Copies of this chain bind each other. A is one copy, B any other.
């Protein structure tokens, strides 16, 4: 059985909150999902067309004079059903690929300082990502965090905080271990 496109469900999910154009969806994904999902136009527009053919979304065209017409998509009852079903099925095995770990695994092939530099850059990226999340969290009131439906977005941010902090902790430890190695071996 072939692999199933998951991006279609993210699109359905976004449309379940409010109708949107392909352009809107792209912005939404960038602003809200960027740390755990991403999609380009080359995926969004064809997927919207496919979803429409399948009757999972409907399209309402708003004419505009000076720009391409806005194609505003809405989720249909059938679409809501498919979405709810997917949301209830267990998460598939996720095959994560950590390029940093591959590079580090073969780190004995290059100077230790190169490895340290890779780790430092990795840590800096994670620190920036963590800061962005901290800002998000501050915008949510305590009530929203634990009570309304905003609890779900909050939980995703919470995961990001945990994972980014873990990455930063690791980077600090790893860098120290390599610095000691460097001191012992090269001098």
Instruction: Write the residues of chain A forming the contact surface with B, with a CB cutoff of 8 angstroms.
Output: 6, 9-10, 13, 16, 33, 35-38, 80, 83-84, 86-88, 90-110, 114-115, 117-118, 121-122, 125, 146-147, 149, 151-153, 155-156, 158-159, 162-163, 165-167, 169-170, 173-174, 177-178, 180-181, 184
Contact = CB atoms under 8 A, between A and B. Distances in A.
Given A6-B97, A36-B102, A106-B152, 4 more contacts: A94-B99, A96-B96, A146-B177, A146-B180
Contacts of A114: 87-88
A80 B127 CA distance: 33
A56 B180 CA distance: 34
A117 B91 CA distance: 10
B13 A102 contact: yes
Contacts of A178: 151, 155
Contact of A170 (B94, B95, B159, B167): B159
Copies of this protein in the complex: 2
A70 B90 CA distance: 40
Given A104-B156, A180-B146, A121 B16 contact: no
B159 A101 contact: yes
A13 B101 CA distance: 12
A131 to B, nearest CB: 17
Given A108-B152, A163-B170, A91 B95 contact: no
A87 B101 contact: no
A84 B109 contact: yes
A101 B149 CA distance: 15
Contact of A159 (B91, B106, B159, B174): B174
Give me the 6 closest cross-chain CB pairs, A-B, nearest first.
A166-B166, A108-B149, A107-B152, A162-B166, A36-B98, A13-B106
